[in-house]
């Protein structure tokens, strides 16, 4: 007859002793002490379904990493002794507190069953626990039991049999905060690349333990060669966590992470039908912000306000920057005698990069707004709030995090999708992140909305563009779920931290790094692209054309000469390499209302969306002098492009493939370049169809 060795673990006063009596009828019960300590040890042996159940009741402990005798005994036994199954006993009336120990037990990677004791008391108090949902989240079987009435006891014993005989390991869907998950993935990826394996722990669990400074694991790793390479990676990860949590106390960080997870689990699985006391501030705020009727309107209002501020406040320094860039270009040009060098620096480098830097204030405002919502804990509430809504589109609330990150930049958004453990959910999310307009698209929107709607209405239109893109993305997610990635989505726990005042250190860290990345891209990749576009727009030279027009200009009046100069520039552009590329591809985009210049700018945008603005600057900002308070490029666009074509252009920009850098990250995260081909076809066809519809409606 086989023996199954079972360990009972739980916090104090969860009714473990009563549960043991209910399971065995007090048969075979032995009481003694653990070896070397005066801590009571309860052992139990009894027969059940042709098996011998040998049970060890560990002392009640709030944590297995504490310093009391009971905690040390539990810790040593769970880590060093051999056993088959853990029964984690929890008090159903205080599930949130008890789950803190469960999270620690899950890290052991052992077979486990959760016994929610005192189910009868929970029922009297109006507490309803969604067992099925809890099982999916935790990843282990869960049974409601009552040691008092013996309800569920037999089911618990049956579950122990099933788990002991099963070969499957724990597959938990529990996730930490985004900052923690990012560092876990960094270390896990490094360990995987090195082919590192340790005992029966996964590399993810090793990563979690080293981040939480598990002393025993550090001792094991200390003499291993991998520690030399791991140490600088670990130090960098810890610095990120210190900044995110505003403390260097790893115990406090661990407590913050665990408490956030537990709040998320409790919110998803427990419903209280009665008021059990005075509500704390977080609950009071949540009653309003995640109210099923008010929550979404409040969220939409906050996002509307964010885009209003992004345009209104961000527009204030734009004129100053525009004047500075113009004055700088004139000064540089006046000090360069060589025409070729002067033109390439002033018209290519300064004008191209300047057109991108002009929108830096808008980018900073957008990042400040998103960082504020994240650091206060509101973003996680929105994820929970939208969970039911997202389910209708084949997603779930956890997808909200990478999607909203996509409003800043697609690159970190694609990386954030790693936290989705379901392959189908992750791929669907990856495919629709591009519909969330990134910060690089913002300059294009600001330029066109300012030109065609005016500053007073541009903020509302900007908000409409972002929301329309997001809604279209959700619709496409549903189509992908139904047609391509069939199957049910899996539940995930979302971090539910308490509300707190914004961390200005963290906001500064986030905004500074993102703005720095934007400027760095403008000074390197976009600089090269702008120069390349200028060269393509300037060459080959047209000496005969210039000579013929120059003769006409010399004989004309001042007004007519100006018109002839603009006509010459237009002719030279049409006959340039850039003009030839645009002319060759123009038939594909003509049904959308695009001319060859708009077509070229879209094609340049495949490299980087910021280049769209600089390309348009090179192609259009060539005409008459404008008022000093006007934007030259916006003036030229409004003069040369119809309203219907402009709206069609915005729709295409909103949907089509993200920049080259983001596309490479997408291919890596999705699992191969074949997915990038699918994404290109998917986004291009969708963009063409919706742009065509927009143009035909407005024409």
Q: Is the dihedral of CA 645, 346, 603, 432 positive or negative?
A: negative
Q: Are 268 and 133 in contact (CB under 8 A)?
A: yes
| 686 pLDDT tier (thresholds 50, 70, 90) | very high
Count of C-beta atoms within a 10 Å radius of residue 616: 25
Q: How many residues appear in the chain?
A: 699
Q: Which residues pair with 86 in a beta bridge?
A: 7, 112
∠178-182-184 over CA atoms, to 5°?
115
pLDDT at residue 624 in the model? 37
pLDDT at 112: 92
Measure the CA dihedral 538/540/541/546, to 10°.
Answer: -80
Domain boundaries, the chain: 2-165, 178-246
pTM metric for this prediction: 0.57
Task: Give the integer Cα–Cα distance in Å for 109 and 111.
Answer: 7
Q: What is the pLDDT of residue 385?
A: 80
* Interval 621-673: pLDDT, tens: 544 333 323 467 787 888 889 999 999 999 999 999 987 777 877 887 888 88
Q: Which pLDDT value is given to residue 691?
A: 96
The band of 29, judged by pLDDT with boundaries at 50, 70 and 90, is: low
The answer to whether 303 and 467 have CB atoms below 8 angstroms apart is yes
| CATH 1.10.10.10, domain 2-165, yes or no | no
Q: What is the structure's pLDDT at 235?
A: 92
128, 270 in Cβ contact below 8 A? yes
Q: Does 489 have pLDDT greater than 60?
A: no
Nearest in space to 357 (alpha carbons), one of 519, 596, 234: 519
Beta-carbon count within 10 A of 21 CB = 16
pLDDT for residue 628: 29
Mean pLDDT confidence for 461-467: 88
For 30-41, what is each residue's pLDDT tens digit?
555 455 544 556
Q: List C-alpha distances in Å: 63 to 11, 180, 662.
A: 8, 21, 43
Give the pLDDT of residue 695: 95
Q: Quick one: which of 162, 154, 12, 175 has its CA closest to 103?
A: 175
Q: Does the structure show a pLDDT above 90 at 295?
A: no
Q: Which pLDDT belongs to residue 694? A: 95
CA–CA separation, 647 vs 611, rounded Å? 19
Band (pLDDT 50/70/90 cuts) for residue 676 is very high
The closest alpha carbon to 467, from 247, 600, 303, belongs to 303
Ordered alpha helix ranges (H), 125-175: 131-138, 153-165
Tell me which residue of 104, 114, 19, 10 sits closest to 59, measured CA to CA.
10
Q: Which of 130-134, 437-441, 496-500, 583-587 has the lowest mean pLDDT?
A: 496-500
**Which residue's entry shows tokens 């964010």?**
306
Centre a 10 Å sphere on the Cβ of residue 562 and count the other Cβ atoms it contains: 15
The pLDDT > 70 percentage for the chain reads 87
Which residues make Cβ contacts (< 8 Å) with residue 474, sequence separation at least 6? 390, 393, 395, 432
Backbone dihedral angles phi then psi of residue 115, each to the nearest 5 degrees: -110, 105
Q: What is the mean pLDDT of the chain?
A: 81
E strand or H helix at 5, and its extent?
strand 2-10
Closest CA to 90 of 102, 75, 107, 72: 102
* Mean pLDDT on 170-180: 80
Report yes or no: 83 and 56 within 8 Å, Cβ to Cβ.
yes
What are 155-162's contacts with CB under 8 Å, separation 24+?
156/23, 156/87, 156/113, 156/115, 157/23, 157/48, 157/49, 157/53, 159/113, 160/4, 160/6, 160/53, 160/85, 160/87, 160/113, 161/4, 161/48, 161/49, 161/51
For residue 697, the model assigns a pLDDT of 93
Give how far the C-alpha of residue 336 lies from the chain's centroid of Cα atoms, to the nearest Å: 47
- Give the tokens for residue 672: 């191969």
CB within 8 Å of 501: residues ≥ 6 apart: 376
Q: Is 627 buried (19+), middle (13-18) or exposed (0-12) by CB count in 10 A?
A: exposed
82: alpha, beta or left? (left if phi > 0; alpha if psi -120 to 50): beta
pLDDT for the residue numbered 279:
54
Torsion-angle region of 25 (φ positive above 0: left; ψ -120 to 50: alpha; else: beta): left
The alpha-helical segments, DSSP class H, found in 194-294 are 203-211, 215-222, 226-245, 250-269, 281-289
Note if the bond before 346 is cis, omega within 30 degrees. no
d(CA 368, CA 372): 6
Distance between CA atoms of 24 and 360, rounded to whole angstroms? 70
Backbone angles phi, psi at 183, to 5 degrees: -75, -35
Rounded distance between C-alpha atoms, residue 618 and residue 624, angstroms = 14
Question: What is the chain's alpha carbon radius of gyration, rounded to the nearest angstrom?
Answer: 31
State the pLDDT at residue 86.
92
SS3 425: helix
C-beta neighbour count of 152 within 10 angstroms: 20
In what helix (H) or strand (E) does residue 2 lie, and over which residues does it extend?
Answer: strand 2-10
Between 127-131, 189-193, 346-350, 490-494, the lowest mean confidence (pLDDT) is in: 490-494
Q: Are 434 and 609 in contact (CB under 8 A)?
A: no
pLDDT in tens, 390-405: 888 888 777 877 887 7
pLDDT tens digit sequence for 614-628: 777 767 654 433 332
The three-class DSSP label of residue 234 is: helix
- CA distance linking residue 606 with residue 685, whole number of Å: 15
The number of helix segments (H) and strand segments (E) in the chain equals 35, 9
Assess contact for 60 and 98: CB atoms under 8 A: no
In a 10 Å sphere around its CB, with 0-12 CB exposed, 13-18 middle and 19+ buried, how is residue 541 labelled?
Answer: exposed
CA distance linking residue 482 with residue 476, whole number of Å? 10
Question: Token pair for residue 217?
Answer: 């694991």
Contact in structure between 129 and 95 (CB atoms under 8 Å): yes
Helix axis angle for 378-385 and 360-375, nearest 10°, is 80
Q: How far from chain centre, in Å, is Cα 373?
A: 13
């Amino acid at each position: 007859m086989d023996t199954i060795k079972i360990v009972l673990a739980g916090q104090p006063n969860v009714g473990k002793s009563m549960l043991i009596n209910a399971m065995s009828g007090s048969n075979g019960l032995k009481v003694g002490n653990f070896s070397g300590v005066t801590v009571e040890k309860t052992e139990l042996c009894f027969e059940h379904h042709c098996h011998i159940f040998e049970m060890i009741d560990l002392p009640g402990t709030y944590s297995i990493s504490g310093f009391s005798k009971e905690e040390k005994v539990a810790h040593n036994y769970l880590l060093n002794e051999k056993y088959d199954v853990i029964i984690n006993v929890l008090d159903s009336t205080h599930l949130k507190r008890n789950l803190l120990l469960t999270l620690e037990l899950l890290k052991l990677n052992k077979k486990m069953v959760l016994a929610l004791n005192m189910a009868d008391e929970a029922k009297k108090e109006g507490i309803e626990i969604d067992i099925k949902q809890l099982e999916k989240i935790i990843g282990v079987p869960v049974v409601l039991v009552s040691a008092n009435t013996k309800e569920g006891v037999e089911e618990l014993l049956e579950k122990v049999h099933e788990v002991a005989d099963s070969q499957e390991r724990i597959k938990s869907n529990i996730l930490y905060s985004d900052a923690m998950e990012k560092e876990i993935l960094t270390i896990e990826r490094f360990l995987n690349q090195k082919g590192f394996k340790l005992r029966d722990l996964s590399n993810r669990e090793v990563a979690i333990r080293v981040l939480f400074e598990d002393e025993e694991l550090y001792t094991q790793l200390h003499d291993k060669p991998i520690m030399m390479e791991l140490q600088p990676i670990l130090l960098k990860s810890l610095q990120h966590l210190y900044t995110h949590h505003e403390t260097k106390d790893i115990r406090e960080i661990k407590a913050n992470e665990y408490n956030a997870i537990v709040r998320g689990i409790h919110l998803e699985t427990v419903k209280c039908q009665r008021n059990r006391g005075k509500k704390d501030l977080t609950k009071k705020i949540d009653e309003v912000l995640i109210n099923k009727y008010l929550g979404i309107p409040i969220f939409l209002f906050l996002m509307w306000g964010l885009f209003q501020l992004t345009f209104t406040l961000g527009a204030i320094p734009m004129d100053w920057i525009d004047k500075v860039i113009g004055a700088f270009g004139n000064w540089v040009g006046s000090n360069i005698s060589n025409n070729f060098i002067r033109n390439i620096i002033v018209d290519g480098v300064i004008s191209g990069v300047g057109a991108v830097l002009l929108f830096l204030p808008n980018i900073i405002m957008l990042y400040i707004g998103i960082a504020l919502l994240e650091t206060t804990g509101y973003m996680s509430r929105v994820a929970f709030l939208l969970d039911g809504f997202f389910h209708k589109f084949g997603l779930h609330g956890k997808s909200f995090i990478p999607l909203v990150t996509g409003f800043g930049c697609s690159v970190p958004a694609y990386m954030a999708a790693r936290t989705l453990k379901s392959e189908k959910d992750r791929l669907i999310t990856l495919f629709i992140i591009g519909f969330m307009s990134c910060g690089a698209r913002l300059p294009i929107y600001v330029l066109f909305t300012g030109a065609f709607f005016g500053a007073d209405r541009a903020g509302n239109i900007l908000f409409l563009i972002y929301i329309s893109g997001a809604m279209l993305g959700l619709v496409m997610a549903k189509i992908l779920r139904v047609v391509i990635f069939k199957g049910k989505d899996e539940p995930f726990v979302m971090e539910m931290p308490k509300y707190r005042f914004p961390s200005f250190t963290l906001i500064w860290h986030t905004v500074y790094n993102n703005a720095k990345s934007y400027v760095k891209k403008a000074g390197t990749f976009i600089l090269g692209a702008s120069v390349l576009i200028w060269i393509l727009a300037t060459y080959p030279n047209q000496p005969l054309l210039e000579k013929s027009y120059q003769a006409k200009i010399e004989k004309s009046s001042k007004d007519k000469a100006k018109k002839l100069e603009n006509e010459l520039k237009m002719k030279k552009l049409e006959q340039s390499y850039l003009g030839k590329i645009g002319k060759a591809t123009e038939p594909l985009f003509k049904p959308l209302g695009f001319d060859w210049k708009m077509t070229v700018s879209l094609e340049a945008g495949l490299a980087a969306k910021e280049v769209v603005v600089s390309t348009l600057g090179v192609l259009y900002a060539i005409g008459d002098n404008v008022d000093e308070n006007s934007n030259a490029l916006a003036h030229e666009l409004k003069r040369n492009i119809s309203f219907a074509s402009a709206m069609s252009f915005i729709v295409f920009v909103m949907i089509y493939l993200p920049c080259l850098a983001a596309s490479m990250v997408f291919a890596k995260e999705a699992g191969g370049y074949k997915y990038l081909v699918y994404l290109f076809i998917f986004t291009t066809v969708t963009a063409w169809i919706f742009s065509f519809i927009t143009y035909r409606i407005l024409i």
